[in-house]
Amino acid sequence: MKDEIVSKLELLSEYVKNLRSYKKYSVEEIKNDFTIRGALERYLELSLECSIDIAEMIISYENLKRPDSYREVILTLGRAGIMPEDFAQKFSNAAGLRNVLVHLYAKIDIDEIYLNLTENLKDFDTFARFIAIYLEKKGAS
């Protein structure tokens, strides 16, 4: 399990690094350039998917109750003490954005994407830090 999660954490780090390279663009530039917009949306989607995959692996390893939604996947880690519940609550909101990006349930709000780019990328780093701490404590392999 540990190797799989470490591999996913490395992917997550790479995706977030790529996302950071788009911080140089203004919201208007992103709105008007479909290539930039598409890449940004895709890297954000991949970052979210990677985070959810990691959380699901831990839930399975710990034999926790299988959540009914992606949002619940993250919240479950908070309830299990793998990360603080207040952070899990905040980070779980990203699951809703994941659904929009993947399924286009609603028109993608570029302002929300831009906010995630400029204000919330550090949440992925925080998530990864909590997972690394969990792996250290578990010494799992």
How many structural domains comprise the chain?
Answer: 1
Which residues, 6+ apart, have CB-to-CB distance to 38 below 8 Å? none
C-alpha to C-alpha distance for 96 and 29, rounded to whole angstroms: 24
Summarised one tens digit per residue, pLDDT across range 76-128 is 999 999 999 999 999 998 877 877 787 775 578 888 889 888 989 999 999 99
Full domain range(s) for residue 110: 2-138
* CATH number of the domain enclosing 83: 1.20.120.580
- This prediction has a pTM of 0.91
* Amino acid making up residue 65: K
For helices 121-138 and 34-61, the axis angle rounded to 10 degrees is 20
C-alpha to C-alpha distance for 117 and 37, rounded to whole angstroms: 12
Q: Are 95 and 106 in contact (CB under 8 A)?
A: no
